Protein backbone atom coordinates (compact mmCIF):
# COMPACT_ATOMS: atom_id res chain seq x y z
CA UNK A 1 0.00 0.00 0.00
CA UNK A 2 1.13 3.54 -0.73
CA UNK A 3 2.24 5.49 2.34
CA UNK A 4 4.69 7.81 0.60
CA UNK A 5 4.86 11.14 2.43
CA UNK A 6 2.85 9.83 5.38
CA UNK A 7 3.98 9.92 9.01
CA UNK A 8 2.28 7.18 11.02
CA UNK A 9 2.62 6.41 14.72
CA UNK A 10 2.45 2.75 15.78
CA UNK A 11 2.18 2.12 19.51
CA UNK A 12 3.68 -1.20 20.54
CA UNK A 13 5.43 -1.21 17.19
CA UNK A 14 8.57 -3.03 18.29
CA UNK A 15 7.18 -6.58 18.14
CA UNK A 16 4.32 -8.76 16.98
CA UNK A 17 1.42 -7.18 15.13
CA UNK A 18 2.80 -3.68 15.68
CA UNK A 19 6.10 -4.58 14.07
CA UNK A 20 4.31 -6.07 11.07
CA UNK A 21 2.36 -2.82 10.73
CA UNK A 22 5.52 -0.71 10.96
CA UNK A 23 7.15 -2.91 8.34
CA UNK A 24 4.16 -2.46 6.02
CA UNK A 25 4.29 1.31 6.40
CA UNK A 26 7.98 1.43 5.55
CA UNK A 27 7.49 -0.96 2.65
CA UNK A 28 4.88 1.46 1.33
CA UNK A 29 7.31 4.37 1.51
CA UNK A 30 5.92 5.91 4.70
CA UNK A 31 7.56 6.93 7.94
CA UNK A 32 6.81 4.59 10.86
CA UNK A 33 7.17 6.15 14.31
CA UNK A 34 7.47 3.23 16.72
CA UNK A 35 6.29 4.20 20.21
CA UNK A 36 7.03 1.39 22.63
CA UNK A 37 7.77 0.92 26.32
CA UNK A 38 10.61 -1.47 25.39
CA UNK A 39 13.13 0.95 23.92
CA UNK A 40 15.73 -1.73 23.28
CA UNK A 41 13.29 -3.72 21.13
CA UNK A 42 12.09 -0.53 19.43
CA UNK A 43 15.63 0.47 18.49
CA UNK A 44 16.30 -3.03 17.15
CA UNK A 45 13.19 -2.88 14.98
CA UNK A 46 14.08 0.61 13.79
CA UNK A 47 17.55 -0.61 12.81
CA UNK A 48 16.09 -3.54 10.90
CA UNK A 49 13.51 -1.40 9.06
CA UNK A 50 15.91 1.39 8.09
CA UNK A 51 15.83 5.16 7.85
CA UNK A 52 12.06 5.44 7.44
CA UNK A 53 11.55 4.00 10.92
CA UNK A 54 11.99 5.95 14.15
CA UNK A 55 11.84 4.78 17.77
CA UNK A 56 10.49 6.64 20.81
CA UNK A 57 9.85 5.38 24.31
CA UNK A 58 6.33 5.62 25.70
CA UNK A 59 4.45 4.02 28.58
CA UNK A 60 0.72 3.65 27.87
CA UNK A 61 0.12 3.49 31.61
CA UNK A 62 1.31 7.09 32.05
CA UNK A 63 -1.09 9.65 30.52
CA UNK A 64 1.21 12.62 31.16
CA UNK A 65 4.08 10.92 29.39
CA UNK A 66 1.83 9.94 26.49
CA UNK A 67 0.78 13.55 25.93
CA UNK A 68 4.38 14.77 26.19
CA UNK A 69 5.59 12.15 23.70
CA UNK A 70 2.78 12.96 21.25
CA UNK A 71 3.63 16.67 21.47
CA UNK A 72 7.30 15.89 20.78
CA UNK A 73 6.39 13.72 17.78
CA UNK A 74 4.21 16.45 16.30
CA UNK A 75 7.01 18.97 16.83
CA UNK A 76 9.62 16.71 15.23
CA UNK A 77 7.61 15.39 12.28
CA UNK A 78 5.32 18.34 11.57
CA UNK A 79 2.29 16.36 10.45
CA UNK A 80 0.89 13.06 11.67
CA UNK A 81 -1.33 11.42 9.08
CA UNK A 82 -2.35 8.33 11.04
CA UNK A 83 -1.95 6.50 14.31
CA UNK A 84 -2.25 2.78 15.03
CA UNK A 85 -3.18 2.17 18.67
CA UNK A 86 -1.77 -1.33 18.90
CA UNK A 87 0.00 -1.58 22.27
CA UNK A 88 -1.75 -3.41 25.08
CA UNK A 89 -1.50 -6.03 27.80
CA UNK A 90 -3.42 -9.23 28.41
CA UNK A 91 -5.21 -10.54 31.49
CA UNK A 92 -6.01 -14.26 31.60
CA UNK A 93 -7.36 -14.86 35.10
CA UNK A 94 -10.88 -15.99 35.88
CA UNK A 95 -13.28 -13.22 36.88
CA UNK A 96 -13.17 -13.94 40.60
CA UNK A 97 -9.38 -14.10 40.52
CA UNK A 98 -8.91 -10.64 39.03
CA UNK A 99 -7.68 -8.20 41.66
CA UNK A 100 -8.69 -4.55 41.71
CA UNK A 101 -5.10 -3.65 40.84
CA UNK A 102 -5.05 -5.95 37.80
CA UNK A 103 -8.39 -4.63 36.57
CA UNK A 104 -7.25 -1.03 36.84
CA UNK A 105 -3.91 -1.73 35.15
CA UNK A 106 -5.49 -3.49 32.16
CA UNK A 107 -8.11 -0.78 31.67
CA UNK A 108 -5.48 1.93 32.20
CA UNK A 109 -3.13 0.59 29.54
CA UNK A 110 -5.57 -0.80 26.98
CA UNK A 111 -8.48 1.62 27.10
CA UNK A 112 -7.26 4.79 28.80
CA UNK A 113 -3.96 4.57 26.92
CA UNK A 114 -5.79 4.38 23.61
CA UNK A 115 -8.02 7.29 24.64
CA UNK A 116 -5.04 9.42 25.67
CA UNK A 117 -3.07 8.87 22.47
CA UNK A 118 -6.16 9.63 20.40
CA UNK A 119 -7.09 12.65 22.50
CA UNK A 120 -3.57 14.08 22.17
CA UNK A 121 -3.62 13.75 18.36
CA UNK A 122 -7.25 14.66 17.64
CA UNK A 123 -6.79 18.49 17.68
CA UNK A 124 -3.71 18.18 15.46
CA UNK A 125 -5.60 16.08 12.91
CA UNK A 126 -8.57 18.43 13.06
CA UNK A 127 -6.38 21.45 12.38
CA UNK A 128 -4.66 19.70 9.47
CA UNK A 129 -7.72 18.53 7.57
CA UNK A 130 -8.10 15.03 8.96
CA UNK A 131 -6.28 11.82 9.67
CA UNK A 132 -6.76 8.12 10.23
CA UNK A 133 -6.98 6.37 13.60
CA UNK A 134 -6.83 2.58 13.80
CA UNK A 135 -7.44 0.87 17.13
CA UNK A 136 -6.40 -2.73 17.70
CA UNK A 137 -9.20 -4.37 19.66
CA UNK A 138 -9.84 -8.11 20.02
CA UNK A 139 -12.37 -10.81 19.30
CA UNK A 140 -12.59 -10.96 23.11
CA UNK A 141 -14.50 -7.67 22.98
CA UNK A 142 -17.34 -9.39 21.14
CA UNK A 143 -17.20 -12.80 22.82
CA UNK A 144 -16.50 -11.77 26.41
CA UNK A 145 -13.12 -13.45 26.31
CA UNK A 146 -12.98 -17.20 25.83
CA UNK A 147 -9.79 -17.51 23.79
CA UNK A 148 -7.00 -15.94 25.82
CA UNK A 149 -7.99 -12.68 27.50
CA UNK A 150 -10.80 -12.84 30.06
CA UNK A 151 -13.03 -10.31 31.87
CA UNK A 152 -10.64 -7.37 32.34
CA UNK A 153 -9.13 -7.77 28.89
CA UNK A 154 -12.50 -8.26 27.18
CA UNK A 155 -13.97 -5.22 28.93
CA UNK A 156 -11.03 -3.00 28.00
CA UNK A 157 -11.27 -4.06 24.36
CA UNK A 158 -15.05 -3.65 24.27
CA UNK A 159 -14.44 -0.13 25.51
CA UNK A 160 -12.08 0.41 22.58
CA UNK A 161 -14.86 -0.60 20.18
CA UNK A 162 -17.22 1.94 21.73
CA UNK A 163 -14.53 4.62 21.73
CA UNK A 164 -13.80 3.88 18.07
CA UNK A 165 -17.40 4.54 17.06
CA UNK A 166 -17.64 7.71 19.17
CA UNK A 167 -14.44 9.16 17.69
CA UNK A 168 -15.58 8.19 14.19
CA UNK A 169 -18.88 10.00 14.72
CA UNK A 170 -17.33 13.17 16.14
CA UNK A 171 -14.23 13.18 13.94
CA UNK A 172 -15.95 12.44 10.63
CA UNK A 173 -16.99 16.05 9.89
CA UNK A 174 -13.33 17.04 10.21
CA UNK A 175 -11.99 14.31 7.92
CA UNK A 176 -10.89 12.10 10.83
CA UNK A 177 -11.71 8.44 10.26
CA UNK A 178 -11.50 5.99 13.16
CA UNK A 179 -11.75 2.23 12.74
CA UNK A 180 -10.85 -0.85 14.79
CA UNK A 181 -9.53 -4.33 14.06
CA UNK A 182 -10.46 -7.38 16.13
CA UNK A 183 -7.90 -10.20 15.83
CA UNK A 184 -8.29 -13.66 17.31
CA UNK A 185 -5.46 -16.05 18.29
CA UNK A 186 -2.30 -14.65 16.70
CA UNK A 187 1.25 -15.96 16.82
CA UNK A 188 2.82 -13.28 19.06
CA UNK A 189 4.70 -13.09 22.34
CA UNK A 190 1.47 -12.05 24.10
CA UNK A 191 -0.23 -15.33 23.19
CA UNK A 192 2.80 -17.52 23.95
CA UNK A 193 1.15 -18.47 27.25
CA UNK A 194 -1.13 -20.76 25.25
CA UNK A 195 1.85 -22.67 23.92
CA UNK A 196 2.59 -23.79 27.48
CA UNK A 197 -0.63 -25.81 27.51
CA UNK A 198 -1.02 -27.86 24.34
CA UNK A 199 -4.55 -29.01 25.18
CA UNK A 200 -5.80 -25.46 25.74
CA UNK A 201 -3.95 -24.24 22.65
CA UNK A 202 -5.60 -26.91 20.50
CA UNK A 203 -9.03 -26.11 21.96
CA UNK A 204 -8.60 -22.49 20.91
CA UNK A 205 -7.47 -23.48 17.42
CA UNK A 206 -10.43 -25.86 17.09
CA UNK A 207 -12.77 -22.93 17.82
CA UNK A 208 -11.44 -21.14 14.74
CA UNK A 209 -13.12 -22.33 11.52
CA UNK A 210 -9.81 -21.99 9.64
CA UNK A 211 -8.28 -24.33 12.27
CA UNK A 212 -5.08 -22.33 12.74
CA UNK A 213 -3.77 -19.20 14.40
CA UNK A 214 -3.02 -16.03 12.49
CA UNK A 215 0.40 -14.67 11.70
CA UNK A 216 1.03 -11.01 12.65
CA UNK A 217 1.17 -9.95 9.00
CA UNK A 218 -2.37 -11.24 8.42
CA UNK A 219 -3.69 -8.92 11.12
CA UNK A 220 -1.48 -6.09 9.92
CA UNK A 221 -3.01 -6.27 6.44
CA UNK A 222 -6.38 -4.98 7.64
CA UNK A 223 -4.76 -2.42 9.94
CA UNK A 224 -2.71 -1.08 7.03
CA UNK A 225 -5.80 -0.91 4.85
CA UNK A 226 -7.65 1.16 7.45
CA UNK A 227 -4.60 3.42 7.82
CA UNK A 228 -4.31 3.96 4.08
CA UNK A 229 -6.13 6.16 1.58
CA UNK A 230 -7.75 3.01 0.16
CA UNK A 231 -10.12 3.17 3.15
CA UNK A 232 -11.03 6.81 2.46
CA UNK A 233 -14.79 6.19 2.96
CA UNK A 234 -14.51 3.66 5.80
CA UNK A 235 -15.34 5.14 9.21
CA UNK A 236 -16.54 3.57 12.46
CA UNK A 237 -15.94 0.03 11.23
CA UNK A 238 -15.05 -2.77 13.64
CA UNK A 239 -13.30 -5.25 11.36
CA UNK A 240 -12.80 -8.88 12.32
CA UNK A 241 -9.63 -10.75 11.38
CA UNK A 242 -10.43 -13.85 13.36
CA UNK A 243 -10.51 -16.85 11.02
CA UNK A 244 -14.31 -16.90 11.13
CA UNK A 245 -15.06 -17.03 14.87
CA UNK A 246 -17.59 -14.20 15.07
CA UNK A 247 -19.08 -14.02 11.57
CA UNK A 248 -20.96 -10.80 12.34
CA UNK A 249 -24.15 -10.21 10.38
- Residues with a catalytic annotation lie at 153
**Side-chain half-sphere exposure of 227, counting CA atoms within 13 A:** 36
Say how far residue 34 (Cα) sits from the centre of its chain. 12
Amino acid sequence: MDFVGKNIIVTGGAMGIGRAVAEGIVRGGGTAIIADIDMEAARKTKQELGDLAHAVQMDLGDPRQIRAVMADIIRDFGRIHAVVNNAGIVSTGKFQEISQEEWERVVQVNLTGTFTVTSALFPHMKENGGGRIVNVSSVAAKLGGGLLGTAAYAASKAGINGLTKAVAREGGPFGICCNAVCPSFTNTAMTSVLSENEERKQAVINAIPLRRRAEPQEIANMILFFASDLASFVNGEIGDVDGGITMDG
